[in-house]
Chains A and B, each alone.
Chain A
Amino acid sequence: MKNLARLAIVAALAFAPMAARADLKAIEAAAKKEGELTWYIAHYTSEGAEDLGRGFTEMTGIKVNVVRTTAQVAYQRLLQDIKNNQTICDVFSSTDVGHYVRLAAEGRFEKYIPESESKILPAFRNFDPAGFYHPTSAGLVLLTYNSSKVKAEDAPKTWTDLLDIKWKGKVSLGHPGFSGYVGTWVLTMKNLYGWSFFDKLEKNKPQIGRSINDTVTALVAGERQVAAGADGSTLFSAARGNPLAISYPTDGSVLIIAPSAIVKGTKRPNAARLFMEYLYSIEASKINAKHFGVPLRPEVPAPPGAKPLSEVKTIRPTVAEIDKGIPSVIEQWRDTFGN
């Protein structure tokens, strides 16, 4: 009896990877029969998302219904769908890691480990050991500045440089209650320097926007001069000719990882799997880099003005820290900054 059980376990172990990592050819053939899929997407810009969807269609002939919204809206829509026993969404891509922790715990995802996971940058592999969600988009929170007002040599080099009195009234930030990027950054700074970092930062009277991209506006307008900003939106605006530049802090750029997952009960499981594979393809990385995202594949060069991720010192909290920690730093933030 015991042996039988052992045998069953061995058999299960032998077949499990096959169940999760099926033959790509078979998946592709079945996916084409399914014909389309719906993608709730909060990563990327709206153009970037549409471009990625089109890229998939060109490659496979499968139509992608791109529903690009903010992370909260995508999550709310998915929750309502689940409540009403609807499976509209096939692939769910939120920027809020907390959504995945919760949905995975409730068994809302289909387990699937993309075949091509071994080909992406090591930093992105094995994000969820249980195999339900996988990084499909990444960005950095780093130091940004208005290059017509601040010379490169005067620009801040470390996060603690922002505390210097010379930046009084000149710092721009987002709000952790409105932006996952900012929330993760605040948590990382707290882990690194303790909350006193923010008490000191408040003495410099930073201007607090909502989204991390509000820092781009504040810098371009000349309203503020230095910021904790995002690489993608800053470089995009700089590439147009706006006076912006980035500086990789020597104490570490905060790496933000946003995953995707296949929704349980999807009516197009093969199209969804093929799409996950596609997000790890060189083609998808190229489209991503074109829209100033960090390419997941090492073969694809970083967008103009950015360093390859392998040359950047990055730091990031764990998934569990993000899920537990962000709600509490939002409260601390509101105590310190008053909103």
Chain B
Amino acid sequence: MATSSTEVPVSRAGSRWDASWLLWIAIIAILLILVVSPFFYLVLTSFQAEKTGDFTLSNYATAYGRARYIDALFNSLKLGAAAAALAGAFAIPLAWAVARTDMPGRGFTRMLVLATFITPPYTGAVAWILLAGPNAGWLNRFYVFATGAEAGPFNIYSFTGLVVVIALYSFPYIFIFTTAALELVSSEMEDAANILGAGTWRTMRRVTLPLALPAILGGLIICFLEAIALFASPAMIAIPARFNVVTTQLYQFFGNPVRVEVAAAYAMPLLGVTVLLVLVQRLITARKGFATLTGKGGERRPIRLGRWRWAMFGYAMFVASLSVFLPYIFLVQSSFAKAWGRGFSLDNLTLRNFNFVLFEHATAAQSVINSFLYAGAAATAAVLITLGIAYIVTRRLVPFAEVLGFLCVAPFVIPGVVLAIGFYAAYAPPPLSLYGTALILILAFTTRFLPIGYVNASAAIRSLNPEMEEAVRVLGGSRLMALRRVVAPLLKRSLLGAWLLIFIPATRELSSAIFLYGPNTKVASVMIFDMSEEGNFEYLSALALILQVLTLPLLYIGQKALGRDFMLRRTAT
């Protein structure tokens, strides 16, 4: 197995002037603008007295002075850990089956995972409330009908319920990271294990999955962070379940009386947690080699599962029915319903909701277009920036490169609303005067999803053996050339994966958008949120479905444009 332990002396000696230096400096500068300035504002605020702006620690005293505030913090940590673990249990087997085996319906499974991913978490949460509400949930009613029991066993309004709902809509992160990594593992390594007597399962456990470890860990971390940063699902489920998490507590600091300073102080431990996670990931992956891309080509054959193929397929469909099939029954029903509460009946059917959302509503159609444009721009920017940063960090091109990595990961965990206040303060007034522009939203989305881009890019670059770039350098090419002609082409699958991973959540990003949009820059997520605030599910479902239907072909084109997986030279089947 090739390792990445040999760092390149050439690059150290690369003090000769090289155009790439300009690029590094530019990327670092962009990062400073995007992340450091709003963060600086945030940290500063947490130490300021409300009116005077004097230095004080009292915000921290208020934020941690009550047992229930601290309970909320622990609830969030527990929630994050449980949701990430469950998401891993959903995602890793599916990723392995789709990327490495001859399970039937692999393309279908992939599409279903993407369909899950483009479902906004709050839509999923609403659907699950209808499925597993303790009194009227369809699953419970079915259970009562089938067994004659007094009451059904499911209660969405519980800690477990919240964990399941969050895991269901965040597992695609792990799935996409992991499949991207597994697709780079050539079968030779598995063959070696087979020859030495290991069976399929043992090979998977000891060779294949460990090679994808950076990607899996990255996915788990993103899930963990997403679970503690989400607001909508906890607001819908945790509050009726009578417990608080960080985001629902934070929200209340914005109520009357408003305590932004306390909110800032309260958000600080989340930053600490992020640092810790990044360190843990380092520690676990530091001493092993994960370079799977060695420039020597390679080949990949699907693993034959035999009769287990159908068991695996069954599991994939089980997960998909929880995340897509069952919830979408509700979504489709209510989008075509005159009144969703009247259930399934022919005289309840109408196309009015779609007509209204597309043609009559003043801003809904434009908001969908805005969402796609801003998300596309943000995804492109974030992928380019994080590719550069991950490269700098992994190849240690500048001193203290690690700090850059941390800066990339930090924005995810700061609740969107707090981050957005930092943004608004930094960019809305002169000199930049970005108030009400598309640019302020694009900048915010870019910042918000840097972590996804970064985690993905750094896992990808770590799978890349530096020998290949060294070859370019030895032959007199610049580092920039190595990046453009070797690194980018080799990583295009993971980069496109990362692009989609940012694009999709950016189309549904709510918490920062709600603070930053102007009269002409409303986005679909804000629209949908307004409708959910108003209990307006018929329109909400119609708009959500339109978003989904528009996103799917984009995904399809993206997959096609990518071309064939270069390692699948021979089809084994």
Contact = CB atoms under 8 A, between A and B. Distances in A.
Interface of A: 38, 45-47, 50-51, 54, 65-70, 72-73, 75-77, 79-81, 83-86, 88, 96, 98-99, 169, 175, 177-178, 180, 207-211, 213-214, 216-217, 220-224, 233, 236-237, 240-244, 323, 326-327, 330, 334, 337-339
Nearest to B156: A223
A186 to B, nearest CB: 13
B570 interface: no
A77 B386 CA distance: 30
B28 interface: no
B406 to A, nearest CB: 27
A103 B536 CA distance: 32
Interface residues of B, number: 58
A142 to B, nearest CB: 16
Contacts of A327: 256-257
14 contacts: A38-B519, A50-B363, A73-B514, A84-B428, A177-B252, A177-B255, A214-B236, A221-B136, A233-B535, A237-B536, A327-B256, A338-B243, A339-B238, A339-B244
Contacts of A241: 338-339, 341-342, 348
B361 interface: yes
B157 interface: yes
Given A84-B429, A209-B240, A210-B239, A217 B362 contact: no
B312 interface: no
B242 interface: yes
Contacts of B340: 220, 242
A76 B235 contact: no
A216 B535 CA distance: 6
Contacts of B338: 240-241
Contact of B256 (A80, A98, A334): A98
B130 interface: yes
A221 B129 contact: yes
Nearest to A241: B339
A323 B535 CA distance: 27
Given A213-B534, A236-B534, A339-B239, 20 more contacts: A72-B254, A75-B258, A76-B424, A88-B436, A178-B252, A213-B535, A217-B126, A220-B340, A221-B341, A223-B134, A223-B135, A223-B137, A233-B534, A233-B535, A237-B339, A237-B536, A241-B342, A323-B256, A334-B68, A339-B243
A175 B135 contact: no
Contacts of A65: 436, 518-520
Given A84-B425, A233-B534, A339-B244, A76 B341 contact: no
Contacts of A337: 242
Contacts of B157: 207
Nearest to A238: B339
B135 A222 contact: yes
Contact of B530 (A45, A80, A209, A242): A45
Contacts of A81: 428
Contacts of B435: 86, 88
B155 to A, nearest CB: 11
